[in-house]
Amino acid sequence: MKFVLAPDSFKESMTAKNAALAMERGIRKVFPDAECVIVPMADGGEGTVESLVSMTNGEIIKTEVLGPLGEKVVAEYGLLGEGQTAVIEMASASGLELLKPEERDPLLTTTYGTGQLIKHALDKGVSRFLIGIGGSATNDGGAGMLQALGVSFKNENGEELPFGGGALDRLHTIDLSGLDERIKDVKIDVACDVTNPLIGENGASAIFGPQKGATPEIVKTLDQNLAHYAEVMKVQLGKDIAHTEGAGAAGGLGAGLMAFLNAELKKGVDLVIEYTGLESFVQVADYVFTGEGSIDGQTLFGKTPYGVATVAQKYSIPVIAFAGRIGKGVEPLYDNGFTAIVGILTGVTSLEDALKDGETNIEFAAENICRLLKI
């Protein structure tokens, strides 16, 4: 019996790897000689670095960078086991969680620290990046990141622009002469599950600005500033990305990555599937176990268990998904690669206890599923 164990993390309860190890313990109570292949998964957001580093026996690298408001913070990224690939979650350096609610100000926040992480990884000799861009505190179009990599954004007096989306209306000249030359030799994949354009009513400022501290007046200012930023890019760089899908991700960081670093934006779970080599394991498996904290109708729109099930469906491999919560609208999942969806709770309990007992519960659930399979 060969099982591929490819769960996402169960938020606030267990990491993807710990969930997979708990599944393995349950399996071995019934099939002690089973082969269990552990492939910790993620969707490009929180937990992606940890999952891929764990999967490849890589390392977590910590370094001091500038945080969203220019303060010093210790951020981290992953160097995969082959030593050539860096995995960065921009939120580690430029994320909303680094700020108290009263500190959030997208007129001032910067992606500079994210650029510093990229530069630090380049110094390690990497040739490939996977960058997750969820959870940003910024709305600067990626300008801060690019400044850290040597791009100069100047006003009409030839002075460098200060940090933040509030300064982009003063952009006059983009100078690429100082851009780190190593960038042209690396491949950059960006995990991005939003399709918002850079500007407009569905753009970065209008949709995501309020959660970053923007009032309606500030949203209008930020949108106008990004529109000016996009126009200067169009005229001086020949890159027209104002209405490109995904350009508005992470306060326009998507636009900066595409226009200046030739990055490709892809669905997060698809990138993790690629980087882990999941398909090579799944196609020779007897069963695939996956799961995450909550499975419901939204799972169909790019969540990790759906991505795993899609791979397994290509090879007609049964998929059992485990969840702490099973919500409404799961029925279509059964037509999209899911064989069964199993709740792991053993009774009525508090949220606190459910999170605390996650590993015990998923082990027990996996054991019971295997007792059925043994029949």
pLDDT in the model for residue 78: 97
pLDDT in the model for residue 124: 96
Amino acid (1-letter code) at residue 93: A
Q: What is the pLDDT along the chain (375 residues), one digit of tens a residue?
A: 999 999 999 988 899 999 999 999 999 999 999 999 999 999 888 889 999 999 999 999 999 999 999 999 999 999 999 999 999 999 999 999 999 999 999 999 999 999 999 999 999 999 999 999 989 999 999 999 999 999 999 999 999 999 999 999 999 999 999 999 999 999 999 999 889 999 999 999 999 999 999 999 999 999 999 999 999 999 999 999 999 999 999 999 999 999 999 999 999 999 999 999 999 999 999 999 999 999 999 898 889 999 999 999 999 999 999 999 999 999 999 999 999 999 999 888 898 888 898 999 999 999 999 999 999
Q: What is the pTM of this model?
A: 0.90
Among residues 284, 319, 286, 253, the alpha carbon closest in space to that of 41 is found at 319
Between CA 60 and CA 76 the distance in angstroms is 7
pLDDT in the model for residue 347: 87
pLDDT in the model for residue 354: 86
Between CA 240 and CA 1 the distance in angstroms is 53
> What are 175's strand-pairing partners?
152
User: How are strands ordered across the β-sheet holding 85-89?
Assistant: 59-66, 72-79, 85-89, 128-132, 187-191, 264-266
Residues 6+ positions from 272 with CB-CB distance below 8 Å? 41, 42, 43, 44, 48, 51, 52, 191, 278, 304, 307
pLDDT in the model for residue 11: 85
Distances from the Cα of 31 to the Cαs of 19, 24, 45, 370, in angstroms? 18, 10, 34, 8
Between CA 188 and CA 275 the distance in angstroms is 13
Residues 6+ positions from 311 with CB-CB distance below 8 Å? 273, 278, 279, 282
pLDDT in the model for residue 306: 95
Domains of the chain: 2-39+277-374 (3.40.50.10350), 48-268 (3.90.1510.10)
pLDDT in the model for residue 361: 96
- Is the CB of residue 288 less than 8 Å from the CB of residue 318? yes
Count the Cβ atoms, other than its own, within 10 Å of residue 97.
11
